[in-house]
């Protein structure tokens, strides 16, 4: 597999905690605007460029995206962000709530993505791909990294970890309590050692950022067609990502809340559920499932424990065996009438970072009628789905900690 060093554009050492920001898709325009009022150097001005305008604007218009590029260019001109003097690989460590993950910032091949060597487990939406590809082309940069993983190998893991004994370039804790440390590897022999180590790896896997990866590949194809002297070595052929060993990653539960019981009374609803699930009072409140095929359900002020019965899934099919699929195929679709959870406005999804207490709060508020707490999908399940070329149901995984934007930018 190809791992490629690059000249990263990154914040000045004393500015990292001001520039780096959460991914654009986990904050609202209003949240980003408030942060910009407090902190004029936030990277939201690049990734959420609509906040540079007063009032409502079309967030996907060329004018708005180009304003984000102008901000990025100005950050560089003003010395807020600096361009590395030579290609580098960046060793990166995130620590959060006792978990630690150590990987590398590098660029990765859009050709290997197209060939299926960089494996996915989610469907992407064409409209979102189009919008992100246009963003990449207008920005002339990859402003947010894709979250990749590889099957852990001790010799490769240790090769990367050995760089963490050196003096870091960045070492700070953000507003969410995540500790970030970054080391810059510019020695050509050390870079070659890392690059060569990954040549024997068969595949990388997308953990998070399917649309960013698809958009980078789409933009590369379009730019290649527009370039009569295309060689395949241009920067647009490689996208920004952080690559971690799978053994260090942490998936949280991804829970569901539904607005109504699809015309059923509480009693009718419970009776219909009992055909496919054993129902009992939850042993504690709020209730968090402790193993696969076990679910928490909060309804009418009470927590229940649901256990999937025999026959609710195919044990030989990894996708059918996922808890998100069991819930969808045996309850959400047939009983609550939610055929497509991607588009149905009656269902919403709550990342496990907020805890099961948030599910109870949403139902108690009256905004939703019933909530379901799930046991987290495992890394091994994700790898198996990707290896078999299959697709997980929507909102199957919530990785934490997430990758910030603005720590490193890849210019094209």
Full pLDDT tens readout for the chain, 412 residues: 999 999 999 999 999 999 999 998 888 999 999 999 999 999 999 999 999 998 888 888 999 999 999 999 999 999 999 999 999 999 999 999 989 999 999 999 999 999 999 999 998 888 889 889 999 999 999 999 999 999 999 999 999 999 999 999 999 999 999 999 999 999 999 999 999 999 999 999 999 999 999 999 999 999 999 999 999 999 999 999 999 999 999 999 999 999 999 999 999 999 999 999 999 999 998 999 999 999 999 999 999 999 999 999 999 999 999 999 999 999 999 999 999 998 899 999 999 888 999 999 999 999 999 999 999 999 999 999 999 999 999 889 989 898 999 999 999 9
- How far apart CA 360 and CA 288 sit, in angstroms, is 11
For residue 82, tell me if it sits in a domain: yes
- For residues 159 and 113, state if they share a domain: yes
- For residues 54 and 165, state if they share a domain: yes
Check if the beta carbon of residue 401 is closer than 8 Å to that of residue 176.
yes
- For residues 295 and 357, state if they share a domain: yes
For residue 262, tell me if it sits in a domain: yes
Burial classification of residue 26, based on how many CB atoms lie within 10 Å of its CB (0-12 exposed, 13-18 middle, 19 or more buried): exposed
Q: Give the position of tokens 């998936």.
A: 251
Domain of 348, in residue numbers: 254-375
- How many domains are there within the chain? 2
- How far apart CA 240 and CA 146 sit, in angstroms, is 6
**Predicted local confidence at residue 379, as pLDDT:** 96
Burial classification of residue 336, based on how many CB atoms lie within 10 Å of its CB (0-12 exposed, 13-18 middle, 19 or more buried): buried
- For residues 167 and 190, state if they share a domain: yes
- For residues 217 and 318, state if they share a domain: no
Per DSSP (E only), the strands in 110-203 are 118-119, 141-142, 146-150, 170-173, 179-185
- For residues 239 and 329, state if they share a domain: no
**Predicted local confidence at residue 394, as pLDDT:** 86
- For residues 405 and 355, state if they share a domain: no
For residue 384, tell me if it sits in a domain: no
For residue 393, tell me if it sits in a domain: no
Check if the beta carbon of residue 68 is closer than 8 Å to that of residue 136.
no
Q: Return the number of other C-beta atoms located less than 10 Å from residue 135's C-beta.
A: 24
Among 163, 36, 190, CA closest to 93? 163
The partner residues of 92 in beta bridges, in order of sequence, read: 103, 182
Task: Tell me the two tokens of residue 395.
Answer: 């909102």
For residue 276, tell me if it sits in a domain: yes
For residue 172, tell me if it sits in a domain: yes
- For residues 169 and 210, state if they share a domain: yes
- For residues 216 and 300, state if they share a domain: no
**Predicted local confidence at residue 57, as pLDDT:** 85
- For residues 28 and 160, state if they share a domain: yes
For residue 103, tell me if it sits in a domain: yes
**Predicted local confidence at residue 103, as pLDDT:** 98
For residue 200, tell me if it sits in a domain: yes
- For residues 236 and 285, state if they share a domain: no
**Predicted local confidence at residue 146, as pLDDT:** 97
The partner residues of 370 in beta bridges, in order of sequence, read: 258, 299
Q: Return the number of other C-beta atoms located less than 10 Å from residue 255's C-beta.
A: 29
Among 37, 41, 205, CA closest to 117? 205
| Coil, helix or strand at residue 18 | helix
- For residues 243 and 222, state if they share a domain: yes
Output the domain CATH number for residue 262: 3.30.1760
Check if the beta carbon of residue 256 is closer than 8 Å to that of residue 327.
yes
- How far apart CA 38 and CA 229 sit, in angstroms, is 46
């Amino acid at each position: 597999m190809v791992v490629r060093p690059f000249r990263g554009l990154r914040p000045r050492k004393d500015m990292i905690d001001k520039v780096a920001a959460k991914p654009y898709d986990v904050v609202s325009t209003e949240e980003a605007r408030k942060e910009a009022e407090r902190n004029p150097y936030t990277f939201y001005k690049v990734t959420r460029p609509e906040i540079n305008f007063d009032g409502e604007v079309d967030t996907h218009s060329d004018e708005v995206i180009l304003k984000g590029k102008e901000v990025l260019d100005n950050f560089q001109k003003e010395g807020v962000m600096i361009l590395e003097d030579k290609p580098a690989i960046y060793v990166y460590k995130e620590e959060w709530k006792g978990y630690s993950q150590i990987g590398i910032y590098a660029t990765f091949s859009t050709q290997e993505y197209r060939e299926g060597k960089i494996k996915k487990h989610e469907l992407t939406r064409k409209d979102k791909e189009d919008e992100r590809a246009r963003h990449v082309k207008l920005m002339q940069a990859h402003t947010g990294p894709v979250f990749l993983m590889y099957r852990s190998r001790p010799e490769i893991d240790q090769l990367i970890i050995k760089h963490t004994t050196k003096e870091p370039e960045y070492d700070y804790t953000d507003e969410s309590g995540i500790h970030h440390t970054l080391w810059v590897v510019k020695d050509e022999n050390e870079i070659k050692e890392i690059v060569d180590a990954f040549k024997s790896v068969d595949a990388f896997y997308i953990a998070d950022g399917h649309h960013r990866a698809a958009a980078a590949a789409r933009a590369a194809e379009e730019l290649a067609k527009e370039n009569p002297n295309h060689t395949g070595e241009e920067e647009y052929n490689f996208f920004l990502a952080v690559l971690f060993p799978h053994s260090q990653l942490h998936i949280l539960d991804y829970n569901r809340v539904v607005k109504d019981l699809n015309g059923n009374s509480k009693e009718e609803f419970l009776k219909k559920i009992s055909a496919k699930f054993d129902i009992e009072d939850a042993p504690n409140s709020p209730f968090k499932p402790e193993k696969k095929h076990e679910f928490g359900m909060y309804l009418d002020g009470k927590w229940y424990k649901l256990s999937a019965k025999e026959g609710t899934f195919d044990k030989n099919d990894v996708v059918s065996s996922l808890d998100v699929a069991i819930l969808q195929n045996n309850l959400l679709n047939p009983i609550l009438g939610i055929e497509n959870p991607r588009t149905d406005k009656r269902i919403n999804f709550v990342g496990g970072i907020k805890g099961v207490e948030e599910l109870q709060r949403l139902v108690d508020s009256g905004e939703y009628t019933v909530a379901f707490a799930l046991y987290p999908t495992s890394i091994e399940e994700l790898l198996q789905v990707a290896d078999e070329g299959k697709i997980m149901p929507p909102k199957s995984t919530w990785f934490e900690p997430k990758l910030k934007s603005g720590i490193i930018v890849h210019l094209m």
